[in-house]
Amino acid sequence: MSAADFMGSFPLVVLAVGALLVLASAAFTRSLLLSFVVTLVALGVAIASSVALTARAPFTVTSFLSFDSFVLFGFALILGATFFAAIGSWAALRTRGAEGGDFFFLFLLSALGACILAASAVFASFFLGLELMSVSLYGLIGWRRESRRGTEAAIKYLLIAGASSAFLLFGMALFYADTGTMNLGRLAEAAQGPLAPVGLGMMLVGIGFKLAVVPFHLWTPDVYDGAPAPVTGFIATVSKGAMVVVLVRAFAPALVGTGGVNGLVGDGTGAASSAFPWVFAVIAGLSMFAGNILALRERNVKRILAFSSIAHLGYILVAFLAGGVEALRAVSFYLVAYFITTLGAFGAITELSGPQKDADDLSQYEGLAARRPWLAAGFTAMLLSLAGLPLTAGFVGKVIILRAGAGAQLWTLAVILAVNGTVSIFYYLKIVSAMFRGFAVHAEAGTTPPVAAGSPVAVSARVPVLAGAALIALTILVIALGVFPSPLIALIGSLSTGGL
């Protein structure tokens, strides 16, 4: 490994060193604060070095990792999300009176895995990153060992992730047997033999699982529900975002110049390459419908967000299918919007949650606007952004996706997206009006609403300064991107990915 390689993989090195420092420090002190500070510093340095590296992009580090400006943008997103999730975790851990060490070790390790996944160039690094991320997540999901739902969620995730990894590995083997290549960038190319399409299909199982798209979504509600809120926010953003980055890099170049789905189907070269956009299109459509329809009947806020995230990944797939530069830009913008709003939403839930159990039932949100007006306002902004209403980043993101879809003439998917945008508003509004509705009743009565017996919601919980500041920052970002998206659009316009 040369000096240049070392410099190129500096963000990864920093994360690994940070993780080890957190673990090593546990030998001397169990201070939560220390491990938290080390985590934040490591993340900060990693983000800064990722940004600095964009000047050198594109470059490769050995044959395993390849970096371009899109990957580094993904790094910044992943690590930024980890940063915010770490702040939320710290607030939650402090409420529990937990000791430091292991939690943030797993946290950094998982982020490291996500980064390796995003930058992977061949099957080996792809699999390594994926497993590093997943295995750390098992521990994080089941963090509240006394919680039965938490343990159940962790085991469920373990089993399904294990099964999907098996599919992924076998698919890689079949693909290699046929094509003789382990290069991710050649996934989308036409395969000659009969085995490669089968292998590609099996790999899609593993990819679809991480993205939690239909029909690989079944774990999502239980895991979202069982995991602590900040960890849920981490899963919803980091693990999905990293996979989206890989997907775009592996497949988008193949879609360039062929006009997306329609073009690929038209050219009729090779069974594998002409089938896969259709597979993604069907997955996208089903995810949008299933996610939104399943969310309609839920009353558990975390499960609502779980189902809604399935739909949001469906939206991202629509952008992805547009192909080419437009896909890259639409996916990037929507990822940013989705990251910010998801982190903000789970950050708000974390604020409301008690040491043993998260605030997940809709009834716990009634009258929130009276008790914690600022928190309610922030959460409302996040939900409206997820619903794609104006003045928020979600609206601009949705327009950009529709624009990319229209440019590639994906009319059916665009209409499905529009219809689903409407359906989704129904359940987001349910949460919003719960927050303001209780307000009405109790404001009339001139009292604050009584909190149900045994409710984990701390009525007058003091928001830790740092977590509060993080939420405010996210809220400002959501609205700023909704009103002045130009700087981000300009930044995204400068991104490029050369493929793999």
Partner 1 sequence: MTAVRTDFSLALFILVPLVLGLGSWWLGRRQALVSRWLALAANLFNLALAGLLWLEASGLTGWGLVAAGPAAGVSGGAAAVPHWMAELHVPWIPGLGISFSLALDGLSLTLLTLTALLGAMAVLSSWTGITDRVPFFHMNLSLVLAGINGVFLATDLFLFVFFWELMLVPMYFLIDIWGHENRHKAAVKFFLFTQVGGLLMLVAIIALAALHAMASGTWTFAFADLAGTMVSPVVGMLLMLGFFAAFAVKLPAFPFHTWLPDAHTEAPTAGSVILAGLLLKTGGYGLIRFAVPLFPAASRAFAPVAMTLAVAGILYGGLMAFSQKDMKRVVAYTSVSHLGFVLLGVYAFTPPALSGAVLQMVSHGISTGALFMLVGTLQDRIHTRELDRMGGLWAKVPRMGAAALILSMALVGLPGLVNFVSEFLVLVGTWAVSPVATVAAAIGLVVATVYALRLFQTAFHGAPRESWTLTDLNAREAGTLFLAIALLVLFGLYPGPILHMVEQSVSGVLAAVAAGGAA
353 close to 91: Cβ distance less than 8 angstroms: no
Fill in the per-residue mask, 325 to 364: x = in contact with partner 1 (CB under 8 A), - = not in contact. ----------------------------------------
DSSP string, 301-315: HHHHHHHHHHHHHHH
Say if residue 215 is preceded by a cis peptide, omega within 30 of 0: yes
- Report the nearest approach of partner 1 to the CB of residue 396 (Å): 8
Judged by beta carbon, residue 130 or residue 316, the one nearer partner 1 is 316
Tokens 């919601």: give the residue.
457
- Measured in whole angstroms, the distance separating CA 188 from the mean position of its chain's CA atoms is 24
Per rule CB under 8 A, is residue 51 in the interface with partner 1?
Answer: no
Report the residue from 70, 167, 216, 395 that binds partner 1 according to the rule CB under 8 A: 395
Cα dihedral angle (223, 428, 94, 235), rounded to 10 degrees?
A: 40
Report the residue from 24, 159, 279, 406 that binds partner 1 according to the rule CB under 8 A: 406
Per rule CB under 8 A, is residue 391 in the interface with partner 1?
Answer: yes
Q: Of the candidates 341, 340, 338, 480, which has an alpha carbon nearest to the alpha carbon of residue 397?
A: 338
Report the residue from 444, 454, 460, 462 that binds partner 1 according to the rule CB under 8 A: 444
- Report the nearest approach of partner 1 to the CB of residue 419 (Å): 7
Question: Is the four-CA dihedral 470, 490, 315, 243 of positive or negative sign?
Answer: negative
What is the distance between the alpha carbons of residues 56 and 177, in angstroms, rounded to a whole number? 35
Per rule CB under 8 A, is residue 265 in the interface with partner 1?
Answer: no
Per rule CB under 8 A, is residue 402 in the interface with partner 1?
Answer: yes
Judged by beta carbon, residue 278 or residue 411, the one nearer partner 1 is 411
Q: Which part of the chain contacts partner 1 (CB under 8 A), choosing from 184-192, 229-237, 265-273, 484-492?
A: 484-492
Judged by beta carbon, residue 19 or residue 425, the one nearer partner 1 is 425
Buried/exposed 441-469: b ≥16 CB within 10 Å, e otherwise: ebeeeeeebeeeeeebbeeebebbeebbe
- Joined together, the tokens standing for residue 474 give 């996210």
- Joined together, the tokens standing for residue 300 give 């558990």
- Report the nearest approach of partner 1 to the CB of residue 41 (Å): 35
- Report the nearest approach of partner 1 to the CB of residue 68 (Å): 21
Question: Is the four-CA dihedral 88, 90, 94, 98 of positive or negative sign?
Answer: positive
Judged by beta carbon, residue 38 or residue 414, the one nearer partner 1 is 414
- Report the nearest approach of partner 1 to the CB of residue 407 (Å): 5
Report the residue from 437, 448, 461, 480 that binds partner 1 according to the rule CB under 8 A: 437
Q: Of the candidates 54, 6, 177, 201, which has an alpha carbon nearest to the alpha carbon of residue 496?
A: 54
Report the residue from 229, 252, 254, 425 that binds partner 1 according to the rule CB under 8 A: 425
Judged by beta carbon, residue 221 or residue 485, the one nearer partner 1 is 485
Helix (H) or strand (E) holding 65: strand 65-67
Greatest Cα pair distance, the chain, in angstroms, is: 74
Say if residue 355 is preceded by a cis peptide, omega within 30 of 0: no
Give 6's contacts (C-beta < 8 A, 6+ positions apart).
Answer: 13
Per rule CB under 8 A, is residue 399 in the interface with partner 1?
Answer: yes
Report the residue from 72, 236, 283, 389 that binds partner 1 according to the rule CB under 8 A: 389
Q: Which part of the chain contacts partner 1 (CB under 8 A), choosing from 92-100, 189-197, 205-213, 413-421?
A: 413-421
Instruction: Report the 10 Å Cβ neighbour count for 221.
Output: 23
Report the residue from 56, 493, 496, 498 that binds partner 1 according to the rule CB under 8 A: 493
Residues lying near partner 1 in the complex (CB under 8 A) are found at 384, 389-391, 395-396, 399-400, 402-403, 405-407, 409, 411, 414-415, 418-419, 421-422, 425-426, 429, 433, 436-437, 439-440, 443-444, 485-486, 489-490, 493
